[in-house]
Chains A and B, each alone.
Chain A
Amino acid sequence: MLSSMIHSIPGALQLGLLYAFMSLGVYITYRILDFPDLTVDGSFTTGGAVAAVMITNGQSPWTATACAFLAGCAAGAVTGLLHTKGKINALLSGILMMIALYSINLRISRVPNVPLINQRSVFDGINDWALEIVAVLIVLVLLDLFFLTDLGLSLRATGDNPRMIRSFGAHTDNTKIVGVSLSNGLVALSGALIAQQQGYSDQSMGIGMIVIGLAAVIIGEAIIGAKSILWATFAAVLGMIAYRVIISIALQIPWFHAQDLKVITAVIVIIALVVPTARRHLRQKSAARKRTAELMAAASGASGGGER
């Protein structure tokens, strides 16, 4: 069992790198914009479908991958518009777009499953590892630079203090749309790469992606923290890699089946969300109790002194 666990790790690392674009996307909406965006489940598949259809129609895999990114941006922009201009609750706008994308994705790919066997892919003629590592590093650096530009700063401030950034002349509707759009572009990019790597795109490949993305962001923060924006984006990548490794090891345990994946993921996210809050609550309560006891003791000590 141990050797099979170790053998599964390189594959998990590679998957982690490819899914890392998705966790970066989720990081943008969930952490920076404070916008829990469920579009992700749909736009991941959109990326896979667009890439698969273009490649099977003879387009260059690089063009196909770039178009997948743009398609994701478009899907995200619609979610952003629904939320800002349509004044629909953030969660609900994401859900609406996710549902709409199920149909749209089928329209794009026409069949639920597009095989990419014997088709060209971006991995042709390049070492998989080199491509994955370089691609992640390039996107990471570009994203970090973007967050240091005037536009990037106003996007971060939109999630941090919308009232403040409006008083300094940024239109928060626009910054939100840009952010959600960029986020879903990255998610779709991830979907396009995964489809090429696994050799097919599938109508259901995006299901549960948002939770996996959240798990990755949270695990990453737990490992290296989020002291600055550079650390935080790196944490999103590292978190995804760690997540894939954890899952691949868990699947080697005989008792677990592949279909348990989603429940394991959900449990990881639940633990990560509940534990810190509960711990803070308990700590505050015990501190308050202690302090009250101290104050009471001081008060009774003082009145006791008066009687004497």
Chain B
Amino acid sequence: MLELTQVSKVFFPGSPDEKVALAGINLSLKPGDFVTIIGSNGAGKSTLMNMISGVLTPDAGQVRIEGVPVHQLPEYKRSRWIGRVFQDPMAGTAPNMTIEENLAIAYARSKRRGLALGVTRAKRRFFQEQLERLNLRLENRLKAKVGQLSGGERQALSLLMATFTRPQILLLDEHTAALDPARAELVTRLTESIVREMELTTLMVTHNMEQAIRLGNRLIMMDKGRIILEAGEDRKKELTVERLLQEFENISGHKLADDRIVLG
């Protein structure tokens, strides 16, 4: 489904600030895989996400989606396959447009945008059905501007917009990190149920160790632009937060440093 081979990226090459963000990443996802990614600050987690979504292009290596090499395609062309939720709850929606208009924009992903009406009666009914899954009563507020929603509501809407067209790949970039614990819990629960229901192939960066262990069927740990640990289904079941931290120290030789780390 998604295949990365020897993907590398260097920022500010040749300058004193030179930084190897990714050093030959190999990663292969099967359809339906749900991979959680953890790692310290500057490990390259976000760079990896940007590399897959097309915000950045690799200096070397290949990215393939369903066998198609996509690493030279710009973001707007890759979005045919990829749904994405950002860390910033404000980033995934257009605040001055209504809920139904935002959904219409998401609905038009991978379609040619022409002069057909964005919101039709049939689409509106579909949007309402989809919104009901969030249990936030947003289905009654289709004409409300998204800017009036709370951060948690906006992130839940972003999640729905990224997923309801069933993208081949779902990228979640610490999408609960900016929310308060109750809202984060809600969005995490929605993520779990939507991913399971739609059988989405998912990559999720998280700083929450407990969440990284509990969610998904695979876990990878990154440090200094490399994948240093990969835990498959069976090994993941036996992991605990303590063991994970210990493993990290053993392999990398230093403690997991993330100023926002949550142990669970």
Contact = CB atoms under 8 A, between A and B. Distances in A.
Interface of A: 146, 148-154, 156-157, 160-161, 163-172
B105 A157 contact: yes
B111 interface: yes
Contacts of A172: 76
A169 B110 contact: yes
Given A153-B101, A169-B79, A164 B94 contact: yes
Given A156-B94, A169-B109, A151 B77 contact: no
B105 A168 contact: yes
B245 interface: no
Given A153-B105, A160-B96, A161-B93, A148 B113 contact: no
B91 A164 contact: yes
A151 B79 contact: no
A154 B93 contact: no
Given A149-B115, A151-B113, A151-B114, A168 B108 contact: yes
A165 B116 contact: no
Contacts of A160: 94-97
B97 A153 contact: yes
B124 interface: no
Given A168-B109, A171-B76, A161 B95 contact: yes
Contact of A167 (B75, B110, B114): B75
5 contacts: A149-B114, A153-B97, A153-B104, A167-B79, A169-B108
A151 B105 CA distance: 9
Contacts of B77: 169
B117 interface: yes
On chain B, which size bracket covers the interface? 35 or more
A151 B115 contact: yes
Interface of B: 53, 74-77, 79-80, 82, 84, 86, 90-97, 101, 104-106, 108-111, 113-119, 161-162
B92 A167 contact: yes
Nearest to B171: A167
Nearest to A171: B76
A163 B96 CA distance: 14
Contacts of B101: 153, 156
B36 to A, nearest CB: 21
Contact of B76 (A151, A157, A166): A166
B111 to A, nearest CB: 7
A170 B95 CA distance: 17
Given A149-B117, A150-B104, 10 more contacts: A146-B115, A149-B115, A152-B118, A153-B118, A154-B113, A161-B90, A165-B94, A167-B75, A167-B92, A169-B77
Contact of B108 (A148, A154, A161, A166): A154
B202 to A, nearest CB: 16
A54 B92 CA distance: 48
Nearest to A150: B113
B115 A166 contact: no
